[in-house]
Structure 1
Amino acid sequence: MISQLAAQRHIPKSEVLRNLVDRGLVSIGAKTDDDYLYELVQRAVKETMQPQIERLAAISAKAAHISSAAFFMGVYSATRDRSPAEQRQIEEVASSARSLGIQYLKLKDRDIDAFIQNGVKTITEDDFNE
């Protein structure tokens, strides 16, 4: 068996034996191996955190769903009982807002205040240019 491991790994039998002894000593706690301990801790943390990560992802998806429903309800409410020209103008602003939302999701920089100010300026300039 040791010969097979050595042949598979292309290392001498003595190195296979050293590795097996080291792993055995680490597993019983007689020797510390930082990489092994790191892997154990990392696995334990991941197993502990995974349910919370999935829960937060589900909450985020629900928030995105209700937010989009609110956006479209707002557009519907704003265009209701308006003239066709006003409806087009509202729909154009809503389209600009959607585009800005997509751009924001693609941002690497988290400076939301500057992004919002520029977005409002863009929408406002579009209104004045019409």
Structure 2
Amino acid sequence: MITPSPTANAQDVTATHAPGPWICEHGADDFFFVAPVDGEFDRDQRDANARLIAAAPDLFAVLVAWKDAQQATDDSVEHLERAIAEGWHNDPSGQGHIGDSNRLADAAWTKAIALRDAAIAKATAA
């Protein structure tokens, strides 16, 4: 079963956006201004900030997918524990059910990882 670390591939990502905390203020003509609280950032950070903000919906989708994958893993483990406790884990039918649970968890992790990688690429222009 796939169960990646939450920090998998983190060493490959370089954050160039301005560090938080940030503020969001309503400006003229219904525009919003988002900037670090200290107001200090350079042009490269401004561009990185814009990419990060543009990637926010994708990053949220990653969080949802990660949560779903974790739940699928928890369900799979619970299913296996129940199978062992009830003695049907070695039964061919039981093994099929356990395998199905594992495949669902693997598929959920595969989706979460793909979404994570795409969101990081979008946020960092990698």
Normalising by structure 1, what TM-score?
0.33
Larger strand fraction of residues: 2
Normalising by structure 2, what TM-score?
0.34
Larger RCO (CA under 8 A, 6+ residues apart): 2
Question: Which structure has the greater CA radius of gyration?
Answer: 1
Larger helix fraction of residues: 1
